[in-house]
């Protein structure tokens, strides 16, 4: 690194990133550790530097306002004009049925499907699907819930239904971000901000993700949060209205 000034600049930039403090209960930490951790465990317990983090919105108008959200508003308008709708799915079985139709169109879909298992003991997950006007699944997502924060660890769109599926992906993410934000979740983490493809980095940029360092504190499971939590109370209310 001493011989490459560019690497030094990257190191300094990462070192200077703002820090986001996250608290995870011991029971949740144990549930997402070891063999069942997958990308969620790696993100929380190994990936602490330069992580892509979204401060979750609670007011739709504020989230979509301003020039930085112009492209997002345009994509949402395209999705709305095609009759795309997004929903939270109450069960893993119903969600996986929709996700399987999307995975079937991917060359590596069967392999990915094998990794799309039911959550393990103690793992709390929210499921989302975007559908076309004729109810064909266009995109799906899974989010691991940790009370004050969440981890988006699966999101995929239909390869054979583009560009509608691409616009549906923007709508689906906007829906789940507002859904989680209105339910008391403060931050959404998706993993490294530096290792994603250029296309995913652009997607995250339009949605408002920022590179941050994570400082994770494991607290005893008997402790209580300062505010109501999505995971504990099962609360669910949406502030999404498919903007005009």
In a domain, 244, yes or no: no
Quote the pLDDT of residue 35.
Answer: 63
The range of the structural domain enclosing residue 152 comes to 17-233
Q: Which of 40, 19, 31 is nearest to 221 (CA)?
A: 31
In a domain, 138, yes or no: yes
Return d(Cα 213, Cα 59) in angstroms, integer.
25
In a domain, 81, yes or no: yes
pLDDT at position 49 over 90: no
Which residue is associated with the tokens 């999307």? 102
In a domain, 7, yes or no: no
In a domain, 242, yes or no: no
In a domain, 9, yes or no: no
Which residue is associated with the tokens 């290792």? 195
pLDDT at position 112 over 90: no
Q: Which of 122, 116, 91 is nearest to 24 (CA)?
A: 122
For residue 168, give the CATH number of its domain.
Answer: 3.40.630.30
Total domains in the chain come to: 1
For 107, residues 6+ apart whose C-beta sits below 8 A from its C-beta are none
In a domain, 194, yes or no: yes
**pLDDT band at residue 87 under the 50/70/90 scheme:** very high
Per-residue model confidence as pLDDT tens digits over 217-233: 888 866 554 444 444 43
Beta strands in the chain (DSSP E): 19-25, 51-55, 85-89, 125-131, 137-145, 149-157, 187-192, 210-219
The answer to whether 239 and 178 are in contact (CB under 8 A) is yes
**pLDDT band at residue 36 under the 50/70/90 scheme:** low
Per-residue model confidence as pLDDT tens digits over 121-164: 889 999 999 999 999 999 999 999 999 999 998 899 998 888 89
pTM confidence score: 0.83
Q: Buried (b) or exposed (e) across 43-57, using 16+ Cβ within 10 A? A: bbbebeebbbbbebb
In a domain, 93, yes or no: yes
Helix axis angle for 164-182 and 198-207, nearest 10°, is: 50
Quote the pLDDT of residue 69.
Answer: 94
């Amino acid at each position: 690194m001493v011989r490459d000034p560019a690497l030094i600049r990257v190191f300094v930039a990462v070192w200077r990133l703002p820090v986001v403090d996250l608290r995870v209960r011991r029971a949740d930490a144990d549930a997402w550790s070891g063999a069942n951790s997958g990308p969620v465990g790696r993100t929380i317990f190994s990936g602490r530097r330069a992580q892509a983090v979204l401060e979750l919105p609670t007011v739709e108008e504020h989230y979509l306002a301003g020039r930085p959200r112009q492209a997002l508003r345009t994509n949402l308008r395209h999705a709305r004009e095609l009759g795309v709708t997004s929903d939270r799915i109450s069960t893993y079985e119903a969600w996986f049925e929709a996700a399987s139709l999307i995975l079937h169109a991917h060359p590596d879909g069967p392999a990915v499907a094998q990794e799309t298992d039911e959550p393990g003991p103690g793992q709390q997950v929210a499921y989302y699907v975007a559908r076309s006007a004729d109810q064909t699944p266009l995109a799906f997502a899974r989010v691991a819930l940790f009370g004050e924060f969440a981890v988006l660890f699966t999101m995929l769109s239909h390869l054979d239904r583009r560009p509608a599926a691409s616009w549906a992906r923007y709508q689906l993410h906007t829906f789940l971000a507002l859904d989680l934000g209105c339910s008391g979740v403060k931050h959404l983490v998706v993993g490294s901000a530096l290792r994603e493809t250029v296309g995913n980095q652009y997607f995250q940029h339009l949605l408002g993700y920022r590179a941050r360092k994570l400082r994770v504190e494991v607290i005893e499971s008997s402790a209580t949060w300062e505010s109501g939590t999505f995971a504990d109370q099962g609360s669910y209310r949406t502030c999404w209205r498919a903007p005009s």
